[in-house]
Amino acid sequence: MSFWGHKPGATMDADTAAREAADNGAQLIDLGEPSDWFAGHVDGARLVEPELLDMELAKLAKDKRVIVLGRNPERSAAAASLLHQHGFDVCSVEGGVSAWKAAGHPVVKADGRRA
């Protein structure tokens, strides 16, 4: 079953995700632990710990796509599935944070320096 034109479990590449965020205001979720955030996270993303995702749902806008960037494909897929079940238009980035960084998009440390 499709959801707002996207299949559950839909993925996109890092460049498409960056364009979605810049052009359409898509919400970026950096799925990880606080230690990941300090070491290097997607600039402009919201840190969401996987086990706390359900508590973060109310902080997300339903009228904007949510893009999940993780460090573990299974966790990212599970997070996207949960978001989808709660009515969000959601995609995950193939290759997660590593692909984002490899594509030249900013990954920063907690102090704002490039990771």
Any domain includes 1: no
**pLDDT, average across residues 56-82:** 94
Residue 1 pLDDT class (50, 70, 90 cuts)? very low
Q: How much of the chain, in percent, has pLDDT values that exceed 90?
A: 83
Any domain includes 100: yes
**Strand 27-31 with 66-69, pairing:** parallel
- SS3 state of residue 47: strand
Residue 26 domain boundaries:
11-107
The pLDDT of residue 8 is 52
Any domain includes 5: no
| Alpha carbons 32 and 44: distance in angstroms, whole number | 14
Whole-prediction pTM: 0.89
| Alpha carbons 17 and 66: distance in angstroms, whole number | 10
Number of domains in the chain: 1
Q: What is the CATH number of the domain that holds 51?
A: 3.40.250.10
Q: Is 56 left (phi over 0), alpha (psi -120 to 50) or beta?
A: alpha
Any domain includes 26: yes
